[in-house]
Each structure stands twice: as C-alpha cells, then as structure tokens.
Amino acid sequence: MPCLLVLALFLWGGNRKILRIACTSSIVKSAKHTRRHGHITAESVTAPLGCIHAAFIFVMTMYTQLYNRLSFGWNTVKIDMSAARRDPLPIIPFGLAAFAATLFALGLALGTTIAVGMLFFIQMKIILRNKTSIESWIEEKAKDRIQYYQLDEVFVFPYDMGSRWKNFKQVFTWSGVPEGNGLAWPVREDCHPYSLTIEQLKQKADKRIRSVRYKVIEDYSGACCPLNKGIKTFFTSPCTEEPRIRLQKGEFILATRGLRYWLYGDKILDDASVKGVSRIRGWFPRNCVEKCPCDAETDQAPEGEKKNR
C-alpha cells in the first residue's frame, strides 16, 4: 500500500508538469520557457518510466495475490479474497479493497504513461525542428501567401539551423542551459533576427487586403453556442479561446477568416459608436451577415475559409 501513496503524490505533482509541458508547445520563444525546455523534456521522459515501473509492480502484485487465492473445481473457478492459500500468511493483507485500489492505481499509471509519453514526442518534434506550434503556423501561412500571389521569393525559417542535431544541441547542453539569452537566439547564415517579424508584418498587411466586408442582417448576442442560429451553427462553434462579438443589425464587419458556419473579423467602428475602444474582433455566425455587393473587397474569400471547410 505505501507504493500507492507514492504514486498518488507523484501523479498529483505530475499533473502540473503536464500543464506546463502543454503550454510550452504553444508559446512563441520566450526567455522563461526556452531555458526550461530541456528540463521539461527530461521530466516527460522520467514520468512515463516511473509509471511503467509502478504498473509492473501492480500487475505482479495482483497476479501473485490472485494466484494464491484461486481454487479450481471440476467446472468452477473460485477466488477467495479473505486469505491466501499458503502458510505462513502474507505480511501485508490483500483484501478486496486493496485489490480495487491497486487496479485503480494501475489505470492511473497506464493513463499517465500514454499521456505524458505523447507529450514527450511532441516536445522532441519541437526541439528537433527548433520551431514551436505557432511558428509552424506562421511558416505555413508564409508559403500560402507566396503561392497565392505567385511571388518570386522563398521563406526560410530563421531558427532552424538546417540540421536536427544542431537544433538538438541548442536545447541540450553540458551546462544544462540552452543557447540564447532569452532575447536573441542563433539564426541561419542566410537570415537575420528580424526575418520572422518581417514575414508576420507581410501577413498582417495581406490579411487586411484580402478581408471581406459584411453587413449585419440579424442580431447576435455573442453567445458561445447560440441555440437560435441553427443546429449546425450550434454544434460547429469554434473550439478556441478567441471571443465572440455582439452584433446589431446594420453594423459592418471586415472578415479575415472563417469556417463553414462561422466567421472571424473586426467590427468597423465610427467615432460615435464606441468610446475608448479601438478594436472589437471575434467570431460570429455566418448566417447573421451578408456580403456587401458594392464593396470591391468582396471578390476575395476570407483567409483560411477553404482550409477549414
């Protein structure tokens, strides 16, 4: 039973580590998380190993205890959980409650092994590419922008050193401290520290050019899953932390991206509408708006609409 308490304490502390690992994979490089990346990856290795060891102990314990309590008849098999069939009796009692607790702990150990093991592979993928999830999304949009406008340029991600081994050595060093000071990191020879920033500015400008103007034809309260906008709109609500915006009939929206039943954009504000607010943006149902026929920008579809369908 003491090993159950140790595993419970380990899992309790491990849950916070899991949250830290999951957050790290979706944050663009920062001083705090970059310096801990190697330690978090090491923790994501030791956690599954410890749980595998605990699972092995639990399986062998249940096997030996149940084996000593089995009795075979001609047509029946009985399990007596009151005592073992051996002399002397075991030092640690193993009754029905202990069996249930051991089985529950085994499930926790296997679940933690699978969950944290998957996080370890995600972390290693990020380290070997030297690229976070957000940076991968920026690179994908850069390729789409170049292909859409058929530009004679090639976007090269500045922090990928061109070799997985070189990327690996930037995080795992003999000193335990990754390369970089939290503000500047080594970049490729054909890039400079502002290559990614320049590409993001180009994407922002391209988003404004390709935005589509819509007019609100139906009020929307800003609910996450509106019941009065249709079943499909209700069940296809975007699974994101981005806000929903309240709409009133007659307002105008600049949509920049969208799903099949939802759009994301900025509300066009005038000086008299909202005081002290420079920008209102978020998701809203597609059936609450219609394209402005006289707007020249309506020839373009919202960015990301084709991908998300």
pLDDT digits (tens, 9 = 90+) for 159-209: 888 889 988 888 888 877 777 777 778 888 888 889 999 999 999 888 888
Q: How many of the other CB atoms lie within 10 Å of CB of 62?
A: 16
Is it true that the peptide bond before 88 is cis, omega within 30 degrees of 0?
yes
The predicted pLDDT at position 30 comes to 44
| Average pLDDT, rounded, for the chain | 78
Spatial distance between the Cα atoms of 177 and 24, rounded to a whole number of angstroms: 16
Average pLDDT over residues 91-106: 82
The predicted pLDDT at position 33 comes to 47
Spatial distance between the Cα atoms of 36 and 34, rounded to a whole number of angstroms: 5
Q: What are the φ/ψ torsions at residue 63 (nearest 5 degrees)?
A: -65, -50
Closest CA to 97 of 108, 119, 109, 82: 82
How does residue 50 score in pLDDT terms, banded at 50, 70 and 90?
Answer: very high
The predicted pLDDT at position 178 comes to 76
How does residue 89 score in pLDDT terms, banded at 50, 70 and 90?
Answer: low
pLDDT above 70 (res 262) = yes
Q: Which residues pair with 244 in a beta bridge?
A: 283
pLDDT tens across 266-309, in order?
Answer: 998 876 555 666 788 999 999 999 998 765 444 554 554 444 43
The predicted pLDDT at position 210 comes to 84
The predicted pLDDT at position 202 comes to 92
Average pLDDT over residues 245-253: 92
For the chain, domains (ranges, CATH) are: 31-74+92-129 (no CATH), 135-206 (no CATH), 211-291 (2.30.30.40)
pTM exceeds 0.95, yes or no:
no
Considering 6-15, 21-30, 38-47, the range whose residues carry the highest mean pLDDT is: 38-47
CB 7 within 8 A of CB 47: no
